Amino acid sequence: MSKFGTEFCDNFVIAEFKDDAWGEPVMGPLEPLSLHPASHVFHYASTCFEGFKAYRWPDGNPHLFRLRDHVERMRRSAASLRLPVPDADMLAGMVVDLVDREQGSIPEPPSSLYLRPTLIGTLPNIGAAASPSTEALLYVLASPVGDYFAGGVRPLKLLVEDQRSRSTETLGSTKTGGNYAAALGPTLDAKEEFGVDQVLFCPNGDVQETGAANFMLISDSEVITKPLDTSFLHGMTRASILTLAEGLGYRVNERDFTVEELLGWVGDYEAALSGTAACLTPVGTLVYHGKELSVREGDNVAKLRDALQSIQYGRSEDVHGWLTAV
């Protein structure tokens, strides 16, 4: 399979917002967009997106994971950027219709079909730095994907960055491209200098998240992760893992914690990154002030990842109502 996110299905679905109303979504062949060079998105970053997956079950039928939750998060992202907010049923219907059209493109587990709804401001106005885009395009891409990290699931190495933030305090929970752009430079610098996979951003010593995933610590009896606020993304995989952990008897402890506390716990806790692309991936090494610290190895990350994937792949009952059949 091609590198994650570089292979696309033949069709996509698109809807336009103009004159204060959404037009009917249109399904058609995937093709380049024609946009005015003055479009708001190019100059003022008026864009947000979502990322989630459809899984092929043993009976061949596709199921979407937490579709409605992703739709609602995208609506919140759009509202925070003052973009036209998509109707929930319209957006969900666009996704379902595309998955139904592309059923034959959904690979067998552990691969899946990655869905990427995207919303961009298209108002042609380069004088609108302090004004929202009153025109927009909403479209949904589909991409057959395998493992996000090259080489499959393996323990990752993270640089602990105890000064800089990944995002702003108000936009951290918005899934917008600007947040990923802000994390790109520090992450590439860290990869070159320290050979790490990601940067764990801990502004002023407050442990938050990496450039593309939430962070958690897991012992034999407890899961620790930062409580939700506007400074970081409210991950659906994070929420799912916490729910499953509680059901498996772990104590879920959503609390703020410092870099100093983190470094003191890595001998007793496993560490992991959670996200739609990464699922739940173990962290094996932390780099802090040039020194490498080994993180405890264990079975808890794999146990929780397997519990989640068993639901997604249809091997376990979905008692939480997370799946949408197509």
DSSP one-letter string for 220-287: SSEEEEPPP-TTS---HHHHHHHHHHHHTTPEEEE---BHHHHHHHTTT-EEEEEETTTEEEEEEEEE
Helix (H, G, I), strand (E, B) or coil at 194: helix
What does the mean pLDDT of the chain come to? 95
Look at the chain and report how many structural domains it folds into: 2
Structural domain span for residue 18: 11-145
Q: Of the candidates 24, 20, 32, 48, which has an alpha carbon nearest to the alpha carbon of residue 123?
A: 20
Gap between the Cα atoms of 268 and 276, Å rounded = 26
93 and 163 fall within a common domain: no
Set 53, 175, 191, 303: catalytic member = 175
Q: Report the predicted TM-score, pTM, of the whole model to 2 decimal places.
A: 0.95
Q: Which of 95, 113, 145 is the last residue of a domain?
A: 145
- Judge whether 320 lies within some domain: no
Among the three residues 101, 122, 145, which one is the final residue of a domain in this structure? 145
Q: Is residue 284 part of a domain?
A: yes
pLDDT tens for residues 97-134? Answer: 999 999 999 999 989 999 999 999 999 999 999 999 99
How crowded is residue 33: how many other Cβ atoms within 10 Å of its Cβ?
Answer: 11
Q: What is the pLDDT of residues 4-45, one digit of tens each?
A: 889 999 999 999 999 999 999 999 999 999 999 999 999 999
Looking at the fold, whether 54 and 99 belong to one and the same domain comes out as: yes
Q: Which residues contact 94 (CB under 8 A, 6 or more apart)?
A: 13, 15, 25, 117, 138, 140
Both 173 and 260 in one domain: the answer is yes
Q: Does residue 267 form part of some domain?
A: yes
Question: In this structure, is residue 107 part of a structural domain?
Answer: yes
> Could you tell me if 165 and 132 lie in one domain?
no
Backbone torsions φ then ψ of 96, nearest 5 degrees: -60, -45
Q: Is residue 203 part of a domain?
A: yes
Return the sign of the alpha-carbon dihedral for residues 318, 319, 321, 326: positive
Residue 152 has what pLDDT? Answer: 65
Q: What is the mean pLDDT of residues 221-244?
A: 96
pLDDT digits (tens, 9 = 90+) for 263-301: 999 999 999 999 998 899 999 999 999 999 999 999 999
How many Cα atoms within 13 Å fall on the side-chain side of residue 187? 19
Specify whether 38 is located in the same domain as 129: yes
Residue 274 inside a domain? The answer is yes
92 and 201 in a common domain: no
Model pLDDT for residues 165-218, shown as the tens digit of each residue? 888 878 899 999 999 999 999 999 999 999 999 999 999 999 999 998 999 999
In-domain check, residue 324: no
Whether residue 162 sits in one domain with residue 127: no
Q: Name the domain boundary from 102, 126, 145.
A: 145
Q: Are residues 40 and 122 in the same domain?
A: yes
For residue 303, indicate whether it is catalytic: no
- How far is it, in rounded angstroms, from Cα 308 to Cα 237? 9
CATH number at residue 300: 3.20.10.10
Residues 89 and 182 in one domain: no
What whole-number percentage of the chain has pLDDT above 70? Answer: 98
Same domain, 60 and 87: yes
| Residue 304 near residue 244, CB atoms below 8 Å | yes
Looking up residue 114, the CATH number of its domain turns out to be 3.30.470.10
Same domain for 171 and 110: no
Mind listing the pLDDT tens digit for each residue in 47-93?
A: 999 999 999 999 999 999 999 999 999 999 999 999 999 999 999 99
- Residues 133 and 169 grouped into a single domain: no
The pLDDT of residue 168 is 82
